[in-house]
Amino acid sequence: MIVEYHRPTELDKALKLLARPDPVTIPIGGGSAFRRTAFGPLAIVDLQALGLGTFVQKGNTIELGATLTLQGLLDEIEKGALAGLEGLAKAIRHEAAHNLRQVGSVAGCLVNASGRSPFAMAMLALDAVLKVEPGGEALRLGDLYPLRRERLNGRLITQVSIGANVRVAYEYVARTPADRPIVCAAAAVWPSGRTRLALGGFGEAPRLVFDGPEAGGVETAARSAYLQAGDAWASAEYREHAAGVLARRALDSASAS
């Protein structure tokens, strides 16, 4: 049962509310996915009045405010100055339909993501870094997922940073074009040649399968990562094969774009 609703206008106030042991208090961005984290009374801290819906480019870094909506981010990419991020735009379009993109926030979507989230997988390939308060810790998205609840307990993501000069491509297979992916891959290539590959469509969180100074071995790494990725949606054999094909396709696209 929701017993309290707060909409603070200052970060300090939000953090104080979240630090309370009782009642259990959780933040919401768009509020479209939050779940009760415990039985019993639940207090909600709505983040929408904190002024965190920003998009700021500083040189080669893009800082996304935690409550920037998926549509807000998509609009920025579609303005055209960030051609390398077209793969991220494709993942956002696949993540949610237009109405839900107006509500879902960048941080809420990352925190809530399962392995089948195209957006979270593309952000993992981009090596997104979260700013977590209190303390201002810089936490890599890949380090969040193994212990998501523990790392965020009583804390708040205020910002998510990605590179502006990285080229990312997103590929997937699904039952229908708009359905959640059964297998998806995102390849990110830096000007230095650094290459990262993330896979999704399976499991509790997207998975980083390759991070190297250049791209050699990406396809093999993708296939190996999904050797045992069988579930009710697809066999491991199918996923292993598809992961290799999509990894190659995403890499070719990110390298060529």
Ligand X SMILES: Cc1cc2nc3c(=O)[nH]c(=O)nc-3n(C[C@H](O)[C@H](O)[C@H](O)COP(=O)(O)OP(=O)(O)OC[C@H]3O[C@@H](n4cnc5c(N)ncnc54)[C@H](O)[C@@H]3O)c2cc1C
Chain residues binding ligand X by CB under 6 A are 26-34, 47, 66, 96, 100, 103-105, 107-109, 111-114, 117, 152, 156-157, 180
**Would you mind telling me the total number of residues written for the chain in this entry?**
257
Q: Where are the alpha helices (DSSP H) in 31-140?
A: 70-78, 86-95, 98-101, 106-112, 118-125
- Which residue matches tokens 């940073």? 161
181: which DSSP letter? P
- Min dist CB 28 to ligand X, Å, is 4
Read off the amino acid at residue 76.
E
Identity of the residue, 114 or 165, whose beta carbon is nearer to ligand X in the bound complex: 114
For the CB of residue 45, give the shortest distance to ligand X in the complex, in Å. 9
What does the buried/exposed string (b/e) look like for 220-256 if buried means 16 or more CB atoms within 10 Å of the residue's CB? ebbbebbeebeeebbeeebbbebbbbbbbbbbebbee
Question: Which CB sits closer to ligand X, 117 or 195?
Answer: 117
Nearer to ligand X among residue 90 and residue 223 (C-beta): 90
Are 107 and 157 contacting, i.e. CB atoms less than 8 angstroms apart? yes
Q: Which residue, chain included where needed, has tokens 């983040």?
A: 47
Least gap, CB of 245 to ligand X (angstroms): 24
**Minimum separation from the CB atom of position 257 to ligand X (A):** 26
CB of 10 vs ligand X, minimal distance in Å = 15
In the complex with ligand X, which residue's Cβ is closer, 84 or 206?
Answer: 206
